[in-house]
Every structure is written in structure tokens, then in C-alpha cells.
Amino acid sequence: MKLQGKAHCFGADVNTDYIISGKYKFKTLDMKELACHVMEDLDPDFATRVQPGDLVIAGRNFGCGSSREQAPLALLNAGVGAVLAPSFARIFYRNAINTGLPVVECDTSGISAGDELLVDLENGVLRNLTRKAETPIKPLPAFMLKVLGDGGLAAHFRKYGTFNID
């Protein structure tokens, strides 16, 4: 899987309340509506600026806080192609894979907003096309790669009827 897009940069400890506020997420199952408010408390214009396939770049502990799956779903529905961060909070990480949003653990310190990036998940490398730099990425555990490849956990379950971890 290869993903290419423009970088949008955020800091460390971006929590799920910032990704999608509780005041919106309890009201609806319409993820397109939630996508209009994604990252609103950190960057009110993000939802209008983000283009399909763009990449969210962050510092460590991305997605800390609540278990709301609306967080990866709002990012996906806003068009975000993947999130890149040095580390992720555990529940967000699982939710992202389960819903089909690629999450990439790597050093993001050299990336600036607007950089054109190419993520090569199979070969475990991030190419910064703007800066002509390469960074290794931490490979996803085999089972999670399988779930992501299936299109998320719902599709995985439809296919196997259970967790196929072997």
C-alpha cells in the first residue's frame, strides 16, 4: 500500500476531543457531518483546507483520551489518507486500523506543513518528496496489516467470522 499526500502538521498529545469534540459526536451517525468539525478546536480551518489523500502529521501520543471511533472516522471522512506520528495512543491505534485508516509510526520531526509525502507501507519507508529525505517507518504488526488490508475489522469479520490472527 502506497499513500501520497500533502502534510498538515499538529503537535504532540492530540487527543480525541480535539479530533472530534464530544459536543458533536453524540448527536449523529453521519460521519460526513462530523468530518466538517474534525480538528476544529486546534485548527478551525482544517476541515475546509484538507484535500483527499492529505496526511496528518503529529507529535507523539496521537489520539490519546477517549475511545470514540468517531475520531478515525471523522478523519477518514474528511479525506485524510493516513496519520503519521512517532507514537499513538492505544485505543485510537486499534480504532484506526479497525476502521481502515492507516496509522504510521515514524519520526515526524523533519516534516513541515505542505511537504509532499509518499508512504510506502510494504517497504517501511516514508519519502519526503519536497525535501528529498527518507525516514524508516515502524512496520504494522502482521495481524493489523491483515485487518487493514481487508478494509477494516468489519470486513475482516465478514470474511473470517472471527479474529484470524494466524
**Site residues (CB under 8 A) for other proteins?**
13, 15, 17-18, 21-23, 25-29, 41, 60-61, 64-70, 73, 87, 89-91, 94-95, 98-99, 141, 143, 152-155, 157-158, 162-163, 165
CA distances from 132 to 97, 109, 127, 135 (A): 29, 15, 7, 10
Q: Tell me how far, at minimum, the Cβ of 108 lies from other proteins, in Å.
A: 15
Closer to other proteins at the Cβ: 101 or 119?
Answer: 101
Handedness of CA 16, 22, 25, 26 (dihedral sign): positive
- Cα Dmax for the chain: 45
C-alpha cell at 122: 510494504
Q: Tell me how far, at minimum, the Cβ of 54 lies from other proteins, in Å.
A: 23
Neighbours of 2 (CB within 10 A): 10
Closer to other proteins at the Cβ: 117 or 144?
Answer: 144
Q: Tell me how far, at minimum, the Cβ of 6 lies from other proteins, in Å.
A: 26
